[in-house]
Amino acid sequence: MILGAVVGPAHADALWRCVGAQGETVFSSSRVGYRNCRRIADTGVQALGSARDGPPASAPAAASTPPSAVMPAQPVVASLEPAQVTTLPRIHRHARVLRGTVYKVTLANGTVEYTNVRPADIQARRVDALFTYLSVCYACNPHSDIDWHTVPLRLHAYASAIDAAAARYRIDPALLRAVIHAESAFNPYAVSDKGAQGLMQLMPGTASDMGVRDVFDPAQNILGGARYLAHLLQDFGGNTTLATAAYNAGSAAVRKYGNQVPPYDETQLYVRRVRILLGRYARAEHGAALARNG
């Protein structure tokens, strides 16, 4: 499955929808190496430009971003060596992809491909990781084989931002860490298929309401998520279980079921796993404080 578009060099004047070697859909400026190609656009290939810049206002939407694409407002590019990318596990054609990474692959002929399928049997001149995506939050997958009682904790990740946000909104830093861990596994560039973004998986409307301008900035995302969580704790009388249920399913869902955790499998799992992580982070922080005070 290709999760994005493929564009060619600036002189290219057509965009093709093709089938790749693994049966995946490919949007490309070149038909070479693909089959069943169908021309879908004659303009806009050049307009897509750099993945860092995004399309200009005049670029046709169909050429710049296919309907299946999920693109953050400001993708962050981290250069990877092609050898690293080819070690990624293969994706079974009929498997549901719950999380992964979107790559920008620059081929030897100058064609640029945006894909979530690992490059295979191609000569890539450069491979960049643009962003990662989640189908569901990290702790929401009912088929997860993670042992939440032993999964490694991230006590030092974004510690200053977490502590500052917790102090500002008077919430337990262990709770913030538990929610971040449950939502994104501390991945600041995570994007869900519903549009939730960043460390605390803020929806665009929530991020705007909480004053977050750049959801991929860890400090802003944590501050916005902490503010939202503080509102939920206030709404539900300091009840952490109900606040985290509302963080996942929404306040309206919690109230609909009489201020109980909604009977949704995802939310039930989420609340249980956050509770486990909260207890572990609280104990770890307490132990670290004792060690410091000595």
Encoded tokens for 209: 């309401």
Give the SS3 label for residue 142: coil
Tell me the CA distances in angstroms from 270 to 11, 168, 185, 223, 257, one per residue in order. Answer: 49, 25, 13, 21, 17
Q: How many residues does the chain have?
A: 294
What gap in Å lies between CA 177 and CA 152, rounded to an integer? 12
Q: Which of 122, 273, 131, 124 is nearest to 191 (CA)?
A: 131
Q: Determine whether 95 is exposed, middle or buried from the number of CB atoms within 10 Å of its CB (0-12, 13-18, 19+).
A: exposed
Q: Can you say whether the dihedral through the CA atoms of 144, 149, 152, 156 is positive or negative?
A: positive
Contacts of 187 (CB under 8 A, 6+ apart): 132, 199
Residue pair 197/184 in contact by the 8 Å Cβ criterion: no
Q: Which of 177, 187, 196 is nearest to 136 (CA)?
A: 196
Q: Which of 3, 2, 1, 31 is nearest to 15 (CA)?
A: 31
Task: Tell me, yes or no, if 183 is annotated catalytic.
Answer: yes
What gap in Å lies between CA 153 and CA 282, rounded to an integer? 11
Active-site hit among 81, 183, 266, 285: 183
Encoded tokens for 274: 């956050």
The set of catalytic residues is 183
